[in-house]
Amino acid sequence: MRKSSALLIGACLLASGCDSPTEAPAPKTEEPRPTPSGTQTNALEKAKQLEGQMQQDAEARKQQMEQATQ
């Protein structure tokens, strides 16, 4: 009976040691907000890209019109 009691107590201690409590979640930190200048810079870059695409499209249409009228 002593061996089985000792084994049972050991098994309980082992099981309780394996079941460690979960760590508290890390505190949430605020994500840095984009600065107005950063937002403006991004908008300006996008506008320049769009302008370039529009100019390419206009040039392609112009060439198509010239080819069609020849």
3-38, pLDDT tens digit by residue?
777 777 777 666 666 555 567 777 777 777 766 788
**5 is written with which tokens?**
């009691």
Give the mean pLDDT of 61-70: 91
Please list, in sequence order, all residues whose beta carbon lies within 8 angstroms of the beta carbon of residue 67, skipping any fewer than 6 positions away. none
At residue 60 the predicted structure's pLDDT band, cuts being 50, 70 and 90, is very high
Domain ranges of the chain: 37-70
Report how far residue 63's alpha carbon sits from residue 70's, in angstroms, rounded to the nearest whole number. Answer: 11
Q: How far apart are CA 58 and CA 50, in angstroms?
A: 12
DSSP 27: P
Residue 54's pLDDT is 96
According to DSSP H, which parts of 19-69 are helical? 36-69
pLDDT in the model for residue 24: 72
Query: Residue 28's pLDDT is what?
Result: 78
